[in-house]
Amino acid sequence: MSAHNTEQVWTLVDQHREAFTALADRVWEMPELGYQEHRSAAEHVAMLEQQGFRVTTGVAGIPTAIIGEAGDEGPVIAILGEFDALPGLSQEAGIATKQPRPGETAGHACGHNLLGSAAMLAATAVKDWLAAQGIKGRVRYYGCPAEESGAGKLFMVREGAFKDVDIALSWHPAPFCAVNPAISLALVSYDFTFTGRASHAAAAPHLGRSALDAVELMNVGVNYMREHMPSDARIHYATIDAGGIAPNVVQSKAVVRYIVRARELPELTGLVARVKKIADGAALMTETQVESHAISGMSNLLGNTPLEQAMFDNLQHLGPPQWDDADRKLAAEIRATLRPDDIAGAYTRFGLAPDMDTLLCDRIVPLGSNGGGRGIGSTDVGDVSWAVPTAQIRGATYAIGTPGHSWQLTAQGQSGIAHKGMVHAAKVMAATAVDALRDPALLARAKADHAARTASNPYVCPLPDDVQPALGMALGA
């Protein structure tokens, strides 16, 4: 893209920056868990309408899923946003000591208040650019709920919300500015419900069949399984229902939730089958019954070299964010609460040599650097990436070393660091979208790359067709 077009769309981002940093702050003030983001979604709808987008709510039957579209005909560029929070991570803003906000338990400890706001900011700048240029094309903001564990994008993909999209762009808060390789773990989450028989634990223990015993035996079995699975696979669990609070009653029902992760979907399917066998074995040992129910799932990310290169070129052109003394002061205060391995680990995950003195991102991470695949998580952007060509930037929005999903990250969510980083990410996404709208050859290369990657390995949804979004559950772990 020409320098003129780049500077023009960056100027459009800057014209809207105050309104969208205010949106990010409002969403930070109202942290809501997955599929419960009603106030946050309402704020996003109001902003989309204010900016002149055509708004669709209730996408894929999900009350908090939103699409805002602008432009006419031509290619469709999707820019993905999120706004769900995490449980148990409430924290006062700008304070470098652990201090939960009164009356709040959840917190934006993954920066999704910034994620959605910056994505919509980028979409708004592209909308204005299309109108100014008189170019045919459409930009869509996708407000995607429940990324943390509800996999909102998976259900949106399954229901066809991306069927006419040409490319999708996204970002995520991070300690550094980077276009990382598209590496993530595929994931499924299952609830295992064990049903036994209640009895008096002292007078007639022989008549009881403990569902809680079955949960504990299942957990032991899965822990033994860890020695015999790929080293980059992951399994976690939490007891959702321990069967009550009375130890003198044999627990007749207990529920354990498992998350299983693996590099690829076929490997994931095999691991889930093994976990289910262990559950069956635990039920057999305790003479209980077990039922499993899928809750959510996410595919691994699929890369797209042309889009990633275009996004990286824009990131390099822009350079890292420019911090001020107030930003460095807060970063130093946060740094004082961290351990050396937090700081070193942040560099390692991005394939960089640790620098224990630098507080905030001062560089652009080289394209392709990934630290050997360390620190891999999961994201439902993966399902979008199998549906359409997709690229994602990491934007620097917090002090280097801040752990993800921590009170320290929540504390920085309304700071100048966060605001500068989200605007910076919006500029990269907006410029990359304009690249694609101006250059049909880039779109063609992105589509050809996607077609080549999926030709022999088409998308398979990791969840059974009958599994619906867990709208009534408190998700967010």
Reading the block at residue 355, the tokens are 């620098």
pLDDT tens for each residue of 454-469: 999 999 999 989 999 9
Chain mean pLDDT for the chain: 95
pLDDT tens for each residue of 359-409: 999 999 999 887 555 557 899 999 999 999 999 999 999 999 999 999 999
Cα separation, 285 vs 266, in Å, equals 29
160, 67 contact by CB (below 8 A): no
Paired residues of 292 in beta bridges: 192
pLDDT tens for each residue of 221-248: 999 999 999 999 999 999 999 999 999 9
Paired residues of 141 in beta bridges: 68, 79
Q: Is the pLDDT of residue 477 over 80?
A: no
At 369 the pLDDT is: 82
Protein fold of 186-297: Alpha-Beta Plaits (3.30.70)
| In the block, residue with structure tokens 């969208």 | 20
Q: Structure pTM?
A: 0.93
Q: Whose CA is closest to 232, among 281, 190, 184?
A: 184
Amino acid at 148: E
Q: Distance of CA 55 to CAs 51, 77, 168, 354, 404, Å?
A: 11, 16, 18, 45, 32
Give the strands of the sheet with 253-262, arranged side by side. Answer: 234-241, 253-262, 186-195, 289-298
pLDDT tens for each residue of 244-292: 999 999 999 999 999 999 998 889 999 999 999 999 999 999 999 999 9
| Number of helices followed by number of strands (H, E) in the chain | 13, 10
- Its CATH class, for the domain covering 3-184+300-454, is alpha beta
Cα separation, 171 vs 394, in Å, equals 6
Q: If you write DSSP's letter for every residue of 162-196 in order, what string do you get?
A: TTT-SEEEEEEEESSBB---S---EEEEEEEEEE-
Amino acid at 13: V
pLDDT tens for each residue of 101-119: 999 999 999 999 999 999 9
pLDDT tens for each residue of 124-164: 999 999 999 999 999 999 999 999 989 999 999 999 999 99
Domain ranges for the chain, please list them: 3-184+300-454, 186-297
Backbone CA torsion sign across 374, 378, 383, 384: negative
Q: Is the pLDDT of residue 65 over 60?
A: yes
CB count in 10 Å sphere of residue 87: 18
At 458 the pLDDT is: 92
| In the block, residue with structure tokens 């803003």 | 93
pLDDT tens for each residue of 422-446: 999 999 999 999 999 999 999 999 9
Q: Do the domains at 3-184+300-454 and 186-297 have one common CATH topology?
A: no
Gyration radius of the chain over CA positions: 23
DSSP state of 413: T
Confidence of residue 476 (pLDDT cuts 50, 70, 90): very low
Q: Is the pLDDT of residue 420 over 50?
A: yes
Cα separation, 378 vs 462, in Å, equals 13
